[in-house]
Amino acid sequence: MIKFSIYLNTSLRFDKYLSDLLHFSRNNIFQLFKDNKIKLNGKDVNKSVIAQKGDVVEIDISQNYHLPFLESDFSKLKVIFENQEFLFIYKPPLFHSANLKGSFYSVESYLSKVNSNYVLLNRLDFNTEGILIAAKSKEAFYRYRAFEKSDKIEKYYIAFVDGYLKKPLEIQSDFISKGVKRVKISSFGLGKHKTFINPIAFYNGGTLADIKIFRGARHQIRVHSASSGYPLMGDFLYNKNIDKAGSYFLFCYKYNIDGAIFDFTESSPLKSSFKKFLI
C-alpha cells in the first residue's frame, strides 16, 4: 500500500491525473480502479472525479514502490561530484528529470534553484535511477554537445533483465513513438541508436547486466532489451511476462566523456538500490 496527499489543485480526471503522475499506462490505472485498489480519502472512488488539494490517495500496490517525487523538497536528490564544468546529480526512481507537464518536482527545477545558469544535459526515464549531468556554463554545454554528436560520450547502466542472458548483445535501431507513453523500433539493425548489453551474473530467473549506450533515446534500453527477448524485470510497459504495474531496476552509474571516466559505483546508492529491488 502506498499513500500520499495531493498538494496542488488539478483540473484533470482522477485516472488521467494518476496516469500522468505515476507514469502508469491508462490500462494499468483502469485495472487498479476496476479491482478497487484505489481510494480517495479512505473511500472507493470513481475514476472520473476531480481530486482536490489536500485529498489523500491510497493505492494498493507493492509496498516497495516508493514515490519520492511527491516529497515537498528535493532532499532525495544529491550532487555526487562536481568539477569546473559539470555537476553529477543522483536522481532516484519515480522522479522527473525535466520540467514536463504534471512534473511538480524535477531535476531541472532543482537546478534552477541552485543556479539559473546550470543546464541539464541528459535525461533518465521517470522510473530509471542514477546519475545525471548538468553543465555549469555555456562553454561546458557546447563542449558536451560536440562530444555527444561525435559519439565521444559513453553512458553505462546496470540493469536486471528477465531471463538468462548468456552472451553479449548489440542492438541498433531508430525509434518512433507509439502513443503517449510507448516507443517502438522503426528500423532494426539500422539507425543511430546502439545498445550494448553484457551479462554479469544470474539471480532468481534474471540476469544482472552491464549496458552501454552513446546518444540515448527515450526508453532506448527498455525497448532494445525487450526486442532482444530480455525485457527489464518488472517493466510493465515492455515486459509481456508481467500483468500488473511494478518497478524495474535500471541505474545509470558511469560516464566516459572524451576519455575522462566518471564512475559512481561506490559513491552512489547503486548497490543498496539493487539489494532493495531484490527484496
Ramachandran assignment for 114, one of left (phi > 0), alpha (psi -120 to 50 degrees), beta (any other): alpha
Q: Which pLDDT score is estimated for 186? A: 76
Across 32-58, average pLDDT: 87
Report the alpha-carbon distance of residue 157 to residue 128 in Å, rounded.
Answer: 10
Closest to 212 measured CA to CA, from 141, 272, 261? 261
**Which band of pLDDT confidence, cut at 50, 70 and 90, is reported for residue 68?**
very low
Q: Which pLDDT score is estimated for 24? A: 73
**Which band of pLDDT confidence, cut at 50, 70 and 90, is reported for residue 114?**
confident
Q: Which pLDDT score is estimated for 18? A: 83
| Residue-range domains of the chain with CATH | 2-61 (3.10.290.10), 152-248 (3.30.2350.10)
Q: Are 114 and 134 in contact (CB under 8 A)?
A: no
| Residue appearing with cell numbers 532493495 | 276
3-state secondary structure of 129: strand
In eight-state DSSP terms, residue 69 is G
Cell numbers for 125, please give them.
Answer: 526515464
- Hey, how many other C-beta atoms are within 10 angstroms of the C-beta on 116? 8
- Per-residue pLDDT for 54 more than 90? no
Longest dimension (CA), the chain: 56
Cell numbers for 237, please give them.
Answer: 510497459
Cα-flanking dihedrals φ and ψ of residue 199, to 5°?
-70, 145
Beta bridge partners of 5: 56
Report the alpha-carbon distance of residue 27 to residue 13 in Å, rounded.
Answer: 15
Question: pLDDT, tens digit, for every residue of 160-216?
Answer: 999 999 999 999 988 877 655 778 887 777 778 999 999 999 988 899 999 999 988
Non-local (6+) Cβ contacts of 179 within 8 A are none
- Per-residue pLDDT for 66 more than 50? no
> In this predicted model, which residue has the larger pLDDT, 38 or 180?
38
- Per-residue pLDDT for 91 more than 80? yes
Across 147-160, average pLDDT: 96
Kindly report which listed range (75-79, 230-234, 259-263) carries the lowest average pLDDT score.
Answer: 75-79
Q: Which pLDDT score is estimated for 230? A: 96
| Residue appearing with cell numbers 531535476 | 107
Beta bridge partners of 96: 106
C-alpha torsion sign, points 220, 269, 260, 86 = positive
Provide the residue type at 55 as one letter: D
